[in-house]
């Protein structure tokens, strides 16, 4: 019985995407902040350590032009407010 591993088919290899940052003079951190994505995840993708099949890693790879794909609303909804604990009776945030 053989096992197949999924591999990402890159349109542009990670090294080429990293070279574009250098050619444009844009820092990876600034790009990540502009696109509201995880800086560390961008570095992982550019190092070739993430497969980019779904979620934020897929979004990053598509935005970088490394992968063909479609960005759906659910994947792009990175501006959704984070969960906040309900306020207590006094109106202050509950603590743990």
Model pTM? 0.64
Task: Say which residue, 37 or 78, is predicted with more confidence.
Answer: 37
27-76: per-residue pLDDT in tens? 999 999 999 999 999 999 999 888 888 888 889 998 998 888 777 765 44
Q: Give residues with Cβ within 8 angstroms of 85, minimum separation 6.
A: 93, 94, 95
Give the Cβ contact number of residue 81 at 10 Å: 5
Side-chain half-sphere CA neighbours of 75 within 13 A: 16
Q: Which helix (H) or strand (E) holds 58?
A: helix 55-63
Task: Say which residue, 26 or 1, is predicted with more confidence.
Answer: 26
Q: What sign has the CA pseudo-torsion 50, 55, 58, 64?
A: negative
Look at residue 88 and tell me whether its pLDDT is greater than 90.
no
7-21: per-residue pLDDT in tens? 556 788 888 999 999
pLDDT for 76 equals 47
Domain ranges of the chain: 14-71
**Do the beta carbons of residue 75 and residue 60 sit within 8 Å?**
no
């Amino acid at each position: 019985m053989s096992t197949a591993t999924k591999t990402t088919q890159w349109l542009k290899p990670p090294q080429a995407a990293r070279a574009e940052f250098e050619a444009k003079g844009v820092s990876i951190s600034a790009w990540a902040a502009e696109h509201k994505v995880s800086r560390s995840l961008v570095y992982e993708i550019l190092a070739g350590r993430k497969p980019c099949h779904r979620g934020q890693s897929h979004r990053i790879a598509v935005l970088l032009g490394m992968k063909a794909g479609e960005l759906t609303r659910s994947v792009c909804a990175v501006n959704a407010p984070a969960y906040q604990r309900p306020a207590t009776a006094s109106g202050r945030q509950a603590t743990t």
